[in-house]
Structure 1
Amino acid sequence: MSSTTRFSSRRSLLALIALGLLMILFVSLGRWQLDRAQERRALAEQIAHGREQAPVHVDSQVGLEHSSFWQTIALQGTWRGDLTVLLDNRNFKGKPGYWVATPFVLDQGTLTGSAILVLRGWLARQPGRPPRPPAVPGGPQHIEGELLERVPRLFELGASPLPATLPDPAGTLPVVQNLTVNELSARSGLKMQAVVLAQTSPSGALLTDWPDPNIDFEKNNGYALQWFGFALIALCAWLGVAWKWLRRTWRAPSTTRKA
C-alpha cells in the first residue's frame, strides 16, 4: 500500500470517528429535548389539575397536605415583615423589579406557629433609589394565593447569600437572586413549611399578576426533531465515507498486483 493510500485511509478513519461522535452527540441532544418536553408536559398537567380544584381554606380540619400545587388556598396568620427578602431581576412586562418575599406565621390547627414563605407581589425598580416595599399590615390577616413547590429560580453565576442572621443586624433589606425555604429557615430560626404561596389577594401597591412557568413542550419536540435530523445527516455522511474507504481498500490489492 502506497503512502498516499495509507494517508487517505487514515483520514477516512478519522472522519468516520468524528461523524460517529457527532451522531452520538446529536441523538443525545434530541433525547434530552424529549425529556424536557415530557417534564414540561407533566408540569402543564399539574398546573391545570391544581387550578381545576376548588379553593381550600386551611384550618384546624384541613391542612396543607390536602392541597395540590397551583391550587388556590386561603390562610390565617400574621406577617413577619422584619424578615422580608427581595428577589432581584424579576422583570414584569419588560420592566425591571423585584419579587417581595415575606414569611407568614400561621395560626391554624396543627400548623400554628409555623410559617409559609409568601411571594407578596412585584415591586418596580426605581433608578438611583433603594427599593422600599410597602409595609405589611399588622395583626391577624387573611390571605389567598396559589400553592407552589418552590420559589421559581433564575440562572445565577455566583452566589447571593442571605445575611448570617435575619433580621439583618445592620438593618439592611436583603436582596438576593434566588431564595429557598431552607435558607430562610436556617437564617431566621422560623419553622417553615416546605412550600411557597404566590399571593393573589390584594397586596397593597404590589402587583400580583404572576407569570406562568414555560410549558411550551411542543418547542422542545421541534428541537428534538432537528437534532435527530442532524444525526440522520451525520449517518448518511458516515455511510458515504465508509463506502468510499471500503472501495479504496478493495482496489488496493489489485493495484499492487498490477504494479
Structure 2
Amino acid sequence: MARPHSISRTLAALVLLALAVVLLASLGRWQLKRADERRATLHTIEAGRVQPPLTLGADVPPAALTPWRPARAVGQWRDDLTVVLENRNHDGRPGFWLATPLVLDASRNVAVLVLRGWVARAVPGQPQPPFPPAPPGEQMASGELVTHVPRLFELWGMGAAATLPPRLPAPDGTFPKVQNLALDDYARATGLTLVPAVLQQLAPDAPGLSRDWPQPSVDYNQNQGYALQWFAFAAIAAIAWLVVLVRAWRRRRAASPD
C-alpha cells in the first residue's frame, strides 16, 4: 500500500504542475496579445505615412489629424512658452526635447505644439549651454503628427516629479523642465487653443537640435516567438503532469490486492 507521505507529495506535484501549465499558457496568450498590439501599431504607422501631407490651420478638422500623417504648419513661434522635456536619450546620450508652440492664428490664439528636436545634456560638472531659440518671424514647420507627447514612466516613489507651472511664460524667463507633458495641462498654463495633436518636426536638423525621433516598437515577430516558447514550456509541464499521474496510478495498482 502506498505510504501517506508519498500520496501527499504526488498530490502536491500535480497541483504545482497544473498551476505551472495555467501560468505558462497565460504568459503565451499575453505575448500573442502584445504581438497583436504591435501589429496594429505598425498598421497605424503605415496607414498614416501614406496619406498626403496635411496643412495645419486653425480650423483643421480633428478627423484629419491621423497619427503619423505628414503635416506642415506656417505660423510664428512662441519661444517664451517653450517647455523642456527631461530624461530623453538619443543614441545612448542623455538629453532633452524642446516643445514649442507654433501660433497658427494669432487673432484666435490657436497653435500647434511642436517637438522641435533633441538637445544633449551638458557633461557633468559643466553648465548647460543655452537651448537653441526658435527663429523669429513667420516660419514653416514640417514633420509627422502624433496624438500626444510621448510619455516616460515616472517613479513617483523616487521623489516629487517636476510639474508644469500654473501659468506660462515663467516670470523669471526660464523654460520649465518636466518629464511628461499633457496637452490639456499645457493649454491651461499658456491660454492657447491647441490643435489636438503634436507635430514632430523632422529633418533637416537645426543647429544644436537633432530630429531623429524614437519609433514605437513594432517587432511583433519577437512576441510571437516568445509566445511559442511559453506554450512549449506549458506543454512540457502538462506532459510532466501526465507522467506523475500515470506513475501514481501504476503504483496504486501495484500496491492494491487483485
> Structure 2 length normalisation: TM-score?
0.86
Equivalent residue in structure 1 for 2:187, among 185, 197, 209? 185
Structure-2 separation of matches of 1:11 and 1:85: 62
C-alpha change, 1:59 and 1:195, in structure 2 (3 Å) is closer
Question: SS at the partner of 2:97?
Answer: strand
Structure 2 partner of 1:238: 241
Equivalent residue in structure 2 for 1:146, among 140, 144, 147? 144
Deviation >6 Å, runs of 4+: none
The question of whether the paired residues in 1 share the 8 Å contact of 2:143 and 2:201 is answered with: yes
Moved more, 88-97 or 53-62: 53-62
What pairs with 1:192-207 in structure 2 (closer than 5 Å)? 192-200=194-202, 202=204, 204-205=206-207, 206-207=209-210
Amino acid at match of 1:113: N
Query: How big is the shift at 1:124?
Result: 1.0
Structure 1 partner of 2:19: 21
What pairs with 1:96-115 in structure 2 (closer than 5 Å)? 96-107=94-105, 112-115=108-111
What per-residue deviation string (whole Å, max 9, x for no partner) do you get for residues 57-103 of structure 1? 23477545324211111112222222212222222222221111112
Amino acid at match of 1:56: L
Structure 2 partner of 1:126: 122
The question of whether the paired residues in 1 share the 8 Å contact of 2:80 and 2:169 is answered with: yes
Q: How many pairs align?
A: 251
Identity %: 47
Query: How big is the shift at 1:203?
Result: 5.9
The question of whether the paired residues in 2 share the 8 Å contact of 1:78 and 1:141 is answered with: yes
The question of whether the paired residues in 1 share the 8 Å contact of 2:58 and 2:110 is answered with: no
Equivalent residue in structure 2 for 1:224, among 222, 227, 230? 227
**Root-mean-square deviation (Å):** 2.4
Structure 2 partner of 1:72: 70
Give ranges in structure 1 of 5+ residues lacking alignment: none
Structure-1 separation of matches of 2:172 and 2:60: 40
Query: How big is the shift at 1:173?
Result: 2.6
The question of whether the paired residues in 2 share the 8 Å contact of 1:120 and 1:203 is answered with: no
Give ranges in structure 2 of 5+ residues lacking alignment: none
Query: How big is the shift at 1:115?
Result: 2.5
The question of whether the paired residues in 2 share the 8 Å contact of 1:143 and 1:201 is answered with: no
Structure-1 separation of matches of 2:169 and 2:56: 28
Structure-1 separation of matches of 2:181 and 2:31: 27
Question: SS at the partner of 2:163?
Answer: coil
Question: SS at the partner of 2:155?
Answer: coil
Query: How big is the shift at 1:234?
Result: 0.8
The question of whether the paired residues in 2 share the 8 Å contact of 1:58 and 1:108 is answered with: no
